[in-house]
Amino acid sequence: MHNKYYTPSGRVNSISFLYLFLAIFIAAPLLTFIYTYAVLYIPIVYLNILCVVGIAFGLGYIANFVVGLGKVRNKMVALLFGLIIGISALYFSWIIWLHYHLNDSAFNEITYTELLEAPGAVWDIVWKINEQGTWSIGRSSRANVSGTFLTIVWILELIAFIGAPIFFAFSKAAEPFLEDDNNWADITKIGPFEPIEDKKALKKQLETQNYEAFLEIGPLTNEQNSSHAIFSLYHNKKRTHGNEYYLSVSNMKERIDKKGNVTHDEKSLISFIRVPKEIGEKLLAKIGTSAEVPVAESE
């Protein structure tokens, strides 16, 4: 008996460990090198926030790519991959940062290798920096940021470095993987449809395989941007040739800012529920009857 919802098989391809190795020693160091020198040479601290956001998404992409290419269907292993990528990137960032500052003030040049081989010394230097600080906020400030405030800044940076790759890796591993095809499922966005008001009723209909009311949900009639529902159908590469179909449904709530720009906030109603092949084919047939949407941008 099949589960009602998609459940990862827990399998891990052995080649994924090679991809992890390449990510740790090539992709992550290269990205952190760019990030660290950007932070060092951008004098405006507030712009450094954009650098932190950038490194978070960059490391998240690397983790997502490793899990996807390595076909990791085990969420705990994916989480571990993300953690390792994040920690290694953070350590490399500290090595690059310390190499710059120590060689800027030392008589004898310190190499990257020496720092890499001495994590204990690196840790001691980091905490000495925490006490004294090396940078200030704004040109008018003479005192370096240190102590509690600097610790908070470092914690936020740590969250960006480690939290993002963990999240992206874990999310990828949770996506439907079709074991018969040995590949990740393709996704087709179908809609827009009228917003779904009753989440509990939708869940009950799909879990009890009572699809009549669900299939009768009509396309959005308002031609202007407005709140709507989107169906995300997961299937094999050829759409109608597979036997596994999974469905996610979301409401996209319209939001208009002060400048009149329209965006949509996504609210997930149900995720990765299994549907029969017949229902999958009927949902794909709706592509021709509903307005083709560029998928609404969510925030």
The DSSP string of 21-80 is HHIIIIIHHHHHHHHHHHHHH---HHHHHHHHHHHHHHHHHHHHHHHHHTT---HHHHHH
Residues 61 and 110 placed together within one structural domain of the fold = yes
pLDDT in tens, 25-63: 999 999 999 999 998 888 777 788 899 999 999 999 999
Closest CA to 242 of 184, 178, 176: 178
Residues 189 and 92 placed together within one structural domain of the fold = no
Reported pTM: 0.83
Instruction: Return the number of other C-beta atoms located less than 10 Å from residue 297's C-beta.
Output: 11
Please identify, among 175, 202, 235, the residue that sits at the C-terminal boundary of a domain: 175
| C-alpha–C-alpha distance, residues 169 and 163, integer Å | 10
pLDDT in tens, 214-233: 999 988 886 665 889 999 99
Instruction: Return the number of other C-beta atoms located less than 10 Å from residue 21's C-beta.
Output: 12
Asked if residue 254 belongs to a domain, the reply is yes
| C-alpha–C-alpha distance, residues 72 and 94, integer Å | 29
User: Residue 147 above 90 pLDDT?
Assistant: no
pLDDT in tens, 201-212: 999 999 999 999
Q: How many structural domains compose the chain?
A: 2
What was the pLDDT predicted at 233?
Answer: 96
| C-alpha–C-alpha distance, residues 265 and 257, integer Å | 12
Residues 154 and 253 placed together within one structural domain of the fold = no
Query: From its phi and psi, is residue 36 left (phi > 0), alpha (psi between -120 and 50) or beta?
Result: alpha
pLDDT in tens, 238-255: 877 778 999 999 999 988
Mean pLDDT of the residues in the chain: 85
What was the pLDDT predicted at 259?
Answer: 82
Residues 47 and 103 placed together within one structural domain of the fold = yes
| C-alpha–C-alpha distance, residues 253 and 195, integer Å | 9
pLDDT in tens, 8-24: 999 999 999 999 999 99
User: Residue 146 above 60 pLDDT?
Assistant: no
What was the pLDDT predicted at 220?
Answer: 84
| C-alpha–C-alpha distance, residues 247 and 228, integer Å | 17
Residues 131 and 185 placed together within one structural domain of the fold = no
| C-alpha–C-alpha distance, residues 169 and 67, integer Å | 6
> Which residues lie closer than 8 Å to 155 by C-beta, 6 or more apart?
none
Task: Kindly state the tokens that stand for 148.
Answer: 């509690």
pLDDT in tens, 71-103: 999 999 999 999 999 999 999 998 998 888 777
User: Residue 132 above 90 pLDDT?
Assistant: no
Kindly state the average pLDDT of the residues 134-162.
65
Please identify, among 110, 141, 175, the residue that sits at the C-terminal boundary of a domain: 175
Domain that holds residue 232: 178-288
Q: Is the dihedral of CA 252, 233, 186, 83 positive or negative?
A: positive
Closest CA to 139 of 214, 45, 213: 45
Asked if residue 293 belongs to a domain, the reply is no
